[in-house]
Amino acid sequence: MNTPTRQKFVVGNWKMHSTTLEAEQLVNGVIHGLSVNNYVTVILCPPFPYLALVRDLLKGTQIALGAQNMYPEAEGAFTGEVSPTMLLDLGREYVILGHSERRHKLGESDSFINQKVECALAAGLNAILCVGETLEQRKANQTEAILDRQLTQGLANVPPEFLSQLSIAYEPVWAIGNALHHESPQQAHDALSLTRKKLSRICGEIRAQQMTLQYGGSVKPHNAAAFLGQPGLDGVLIGGASLKADQFVAIAKAAMGAMKAEVQPS
């Protein structure tokens, strides 16, 4: 049996969806479907108001809890914001930062995202930093330059000892929520190889090789195994399909299958 090289993730980003009842049904469906949870770290990221509910439902399971965002201060006069200290207090271990919807719909800059990454890691959270180019940037052959900028600026001044708490999600903006126009597994593989190469320049080859790199962009049950079978693709960040327990469970099972094949090659 081989030792897995990197931790594998399946992350459900619920975005701004669900009600109390829907959250309860969704979490119970995922728990029921994933009673055996091997090899893969499954993380649910509900909206802030359902945090405590989801935390309580997940007690005693192997499913982890994450947040979709945070403000880079421990406390203070920041009306409407949520701090890393509050997330830790509420039992969240993970936080998604720099999601393309926050970059492009809410105007977050690389330097603001960098403050969040530094603050989250220093507080003891595990951060998932999202990067990825828009369709215009892709068409203009700027993917490499965008990844370089988002990674270099997003990780500026992050102490090396915190990097084990960090993973990266490569999510081409045009592939998110766009089942008709998504990236092929081969394209995802190529972009993730580029991402790891950039990380190697930023934080050294060993840390880059240890880091979990996820892909996100309309991953569904029918294409999950093809993405997850790509070498160097260590997990998936799921939006739309994370809102349906059966779909999310099917993707998590595909990840477990890919991991099993890595650990126990036939």
Instruction: Please report, for residues 9, 16, 80, 114, 227, the alpha-carbon distance to residue 149 in angstroms, rounded to integers and kept in the order given.
Output: 24, 28, 29, 11, 25
Using the rule CB under 6 A, which residue among 13, 18, 41, 212 binds ligand PEP? 13
State yes or no: residue 219 binds ligand PEP (CB under 6 A).
yes
**Per-residue binding letters, 47-86, with ligand PEP (x by CB under 6 A):** ----------------------------------------
Query: Among 76-84, 212-220, 227-235, 253-261, which window interacts with ligand PEP (CB under 6 A)?
Result: 212-220
- Residue 203 or residue 218: which is nearer to ligand PEP going by CB? 218
Query: How far is the C-alpha of 225 from the C-alpha of 250, rounded, in Å?
Result: 10
Minimum CB distance to ligand PEP, residue 194 (Å): 19
Residue type, position 33, single letter: G
Using the rule CB under 6 A, which residue among 195, 217, 234, 247 binds ligand PEP? 217
Q: Which residues contact 21 (CB under 8 A, 6 or more apart)?
A: none
- Residue 203 or residue 249: which is nearer to ligand PEP going by CB? 249
**Per-residue binding letters, 163-202, with ligand PEP (x by CB under 6 A):** --------x----xx-------------------------
Q: Which residues contact 112 (CB under 8 A, 6 or more apart)?
A: 72
Minimum CB distance to ligand PEP, residue 182 (Å): 7
Q: Which residue has the tokens 């972009």?
A: 191
Query: How far is the C-alpha of 134 from the C-alpha of 74, rounded, in Å?
Result: 32
- Residue 120 or residue 241: which is nearer to ligand PEP going by CB? 241
CB-CB contact of 173 with 133 (8 Å): yes
CB-CB contact of 240 with 218 (8 Å): yes
Query: Which positions are annotated as active-site residues?
Result: 99, 171
Minimum CB distance to ligand PEP, residue 138 (Å): 16
Cα distance from N-terminal residue to C-terminal residue, the chain = 10
Residue ranges in contact with ligand PEP by CB under 6 A: 13, 171, 176-177, 216-219, 237-241
